[in-house]
């Protein structure tokens, strides 16, 4: 059952997406209302986005407001991404696909926690402020895309590479969300240092396929985003940095899990791999 905060976020996300579609929808239906007052479509979107944020400010307070403005932002970006992928020049369409994938990933992170572990729900569940390195990496991928589009326009048009990247993102996203919903209250975005009374070792479902399905999903999702953008430099950099990050993260987490569950986790390690390439995790006998 989705908690109240999750329901609020879902309503805001959907509402913002629909509002972002409204000028295009009215144009396709033959209405000319917006064109009478706005000559620039991006100025119209800016006005719409400001208005929905003012509405959120008037309607909500505190934690509910913080949820609403983030869900509205991600919903509007999601909608703009779809519009770009359909209407933009071909060399911008893959950026629209990427934008949609990025917005849906961050929103569904919050939604999955709201569904499976509402007690752990916080503003950080959107992971929009994941880390400085994450933000820098995203900005560098945008810069590479813009520069390469300027000098090698044909390189950025939709191709089998970008569609394969989209498929990789979808599969990675599904795997990560299945992991979160399978683990339920045992999942947390932050590695836990102390074992809670209801903390259990989850070995069924996708955890019977690999020990760290949420990391596996995120790893391949991150690589998929750069395949969508057809960014050769960031593809290599993302693969290397993501591998390094999850290598260290798995070591830290498995030391904690071995302290929590002892021999049960050792036996689990023997049966199931991490799922990440060339990462075996922390072994007591190694």
pLDDT (tens place) for every residue of the chain, 286 residues total: 899 999 999 999 999 999 999 888 877 776 766 656 667 788 889 999 999 999 999 999 999 999 999 999 999 999 999 999 999 999 999 999 999 999 999 999 999 999 999 999 999 999 998 889 999 999 999 999 999 999 999 999 999 999 999 999 999 999 999 999 999 999 988 877 778 878 899 999 999 999 999 999 999 999 999 999 999 999 999 999 999 999 999 999 999 999 999 999 999 999 999 999 999 999 887 5
Same domain, 56 and 174: no
Distance CA 286, CA 281 (A): 10
Six token digits for residue 59: 């309607």
Of 136, 127, 83, 122, residue with least CA distance to 105: 127
Same domain, 151 and 167: yes
Number of domains in the chain: 2
Same domain, 271 and 130: yes
Neighbours of 68 (CB within 10 A): 26
Same domain, 99 and 83: no
Domain end marker among 51, 70, 87: 87
Q: Establish if 226 belongs to a structural domain.
A: yes
Six token digits for residue 60: 């909500």
Of 210, 203, 220, residue with least CA distance to 250: 210
Which residues are within 8 A (CB) of 43 and not within 5 positions of it... i.e. 6 or more apart?
none
Q: Output the pTM of the full model.
A: 0.94
Same domain, 17 and 70: yes
Distance CA 3, CA 9 (A): 10
Of 78, 79, 244, 230, residue with least CA distance to 141: 230
Query: Which pLDDT value is given to residue 188?
Result: 85
Query: Which pLDDT value is given to residue 286?
Result: 57
Domain end marker among 87, 106, 123: 87
Six token digits for residue 3: 């908690």
Same domain, 57 and 163: no
Structural domain span for residue 7: 1-87
Could you identify the residue written with the tokens 């430099």?
A: 233
Could you identify the residue written with the tokens 């975005």?
A: 189
The answer to whether the beta carbons of residues 277 and 251 sit under 8 Å apart is no
Query: Which pLDDT value is given to residue 284?
Result: 83
Could you identify the residue written with the tokens 């908690």?
A: 3
Same domain, 72 and 213: no
Query: Which pLDDT value is given to residue 191?
Result: 75
Query: Which pLDDT value is given to residue 216?
Result: 98
Q: Give the side-chain half-sphere CA count within 13 A for 241.
A: 14
Of 175, 167, 158, 9, residue with least CA distance to 101: 167
Same domain, 77 and 121: no
Same domain, 73 and 107: no
Question: What distances in angstroms separate CA 124 from CA 32, 90, 145, one per listed residue?
Answer: 41, 35, 28
Q: Residue 127: left (phi > 0), alpha (psi -120 to 50), or beta?
A: left
Q: Establish if 286 belongs to a structural domain.
A: no
């Amino acid at each position: 059952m989705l908690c109240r905060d999750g329901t609020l976020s879902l309503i805001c996300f959907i509402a913002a997406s629909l509002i972002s579609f409204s000028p295009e929808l009215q144009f396709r239906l033959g209405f000319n209302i917006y064109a009478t007052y706005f000559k620039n479509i991006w100025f119209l979107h800016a006005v719409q986005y400001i208005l929905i944020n003012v509405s959120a400010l008037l309607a909500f307070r505190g934690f509910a407001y913080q949820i609403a403005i983030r869900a509205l932002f991600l919903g509007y970006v999601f909608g703009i991404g779809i519009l770009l992928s359909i209407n933009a020049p071909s060399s911008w369409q893959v950026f629209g696909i990427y934008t949609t994938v990025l917005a849906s990933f961050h929103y569904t992170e919050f939604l999955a926690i709201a569904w499976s572990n509402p007690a752990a729900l916080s503003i950080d569940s959107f992971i929009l402020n994941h880390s400085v390195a994450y933000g820098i990496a995203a900005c560098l991928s945008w810069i590479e895309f813009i520069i390469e589009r300027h000098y090698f326009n044909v390189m950025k048009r939709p191709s089998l590479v970008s569609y394969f990247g989209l498929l990789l993102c979808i599969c990675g996203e599904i795997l990560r969300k299945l992991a979160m919903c399978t683990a339920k209250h045992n999942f947390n975005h932050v590695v836990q240092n102390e074992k809670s009374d209801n903390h259990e070792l989850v070995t069924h479902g996708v955890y019977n396929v690999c020990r760290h399905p949420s990391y596996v999903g995120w790893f391949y999702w991150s690589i998929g985003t750069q395949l969508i953008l057809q960014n050769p430099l960031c593809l290599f950099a993302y693969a290397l940095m993501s591998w390094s990050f999850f290598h260290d993260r798995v070591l830290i987490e498995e030391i904690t899990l071995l302290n929590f569950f002892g021999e049960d986790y050792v036996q689990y390690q023997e049966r199931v791999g991490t799922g990440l390439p060339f990462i075996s995790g922390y072994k007591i006998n190694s």
